[in-house]
Amino acid sequence: MRFDVITLFPELFAPFLSTGVTRRAYESGQVQVRLWNPRDFSEGSYRRVDDRPFGGGPGMVMMAEPLALCLEAIRAERAVTENAPVPVVLFSPIGQPLNHSLVEDWADSAGAVLLCGRYEGVDQRFIDAHVDCQISLGDFVLSGGEIAAMALIDAVTRLQPGVLNDEGSHQLDSFNPALDGLLDCPAYTRPESWRGMSVPAEMLSGHHAEIERWRREQRLALTLLRRPELLDAARANGRLTPRDEAFLAAKAADISPKP
């Protein structure tokens, strides 16, 4: 798997690629990350990559030509070793929200070219000609696409075989189908009592069935409280049992405002 990242600030990626549990995947080449600066493909001594928008207005717009030349260089290099072209992704507020399902799709892919926009955006002609899909981290605006690119790469990398120390660790993540798309439950570790707060008795019982029942109920309760729309999706997919529904009904009655 290989990601080619088009960014005006490649130095932002150095600590990201050299720390944490995913570092081994980058250093070994299991997940390749190649950084490309469009300034290297611009003309003139100033290496200009942006200009004022037609029609006026604040800010600057990334120019199409340096991006196109950069993309051509990426495709030429990939053609030497890769069997098929990969999509060009732009991180943008109008893009598809990044979620676990989308991450799983990317985890089974050959990678992508990730375009990190800056300033007021990218010349629409480049987008129309070359961008295959757009992705958003959420309903807010960042200074550039680098943080979004790191989020996608990290989420995809940790799903690759052998990257995490515990191969089954990501199966217990929030949103994972193994948890029926629910939020994960709270976690506890030593000591059993900390500043007057104790670990729930169920977690200390040693009774595996009781522990799993408690975890299931905690996932259901937390999802009901924080992300109830995930329960609707779980119902639509037939992932909630009659026991789950009975627990949720009782919990909903507990948290409903009393007249």
Cα 209 to Cα 150, 203, 244: the distances in Å are 38, 11, 15
Q: Which two tokens stand for residue 177?
A: 């189908």
Question: Which of 77, 104, 154, 173 is labelled catalytic?
Answer: 173
Question: Which of 85, 93, 97, 186 is labelled catalytic?
Answer: 93
Question: Which of 77, 120, 154, 184 is labelled catalytic?
Answer: 120
Catalytic site includes residue 97: no
CB distance 8 to 118 below 8 Å: yes
Catalytic site includes residue 158: yes
Catalytic site includes residue 93: yes
Torsion of CA 137, 140, 141, 146, to 10 degrees: -20
CA–CA gap between residue 34 and residue 117 (Å, rounded): 17
CB distance 112 to 86 below 8 Å: yes
Alpha carbons within 13 angstroms on the beta-carbon side of residue 77 total 13
Question: Which of 78, 118, 158, 215 is labelled catalytic?
Answer: 158
Strand 61-62, strand 197-198: pairing: unpaired
Catalytic site includes residue 228: no
Active-site residue list: 93, 120, 158, 173
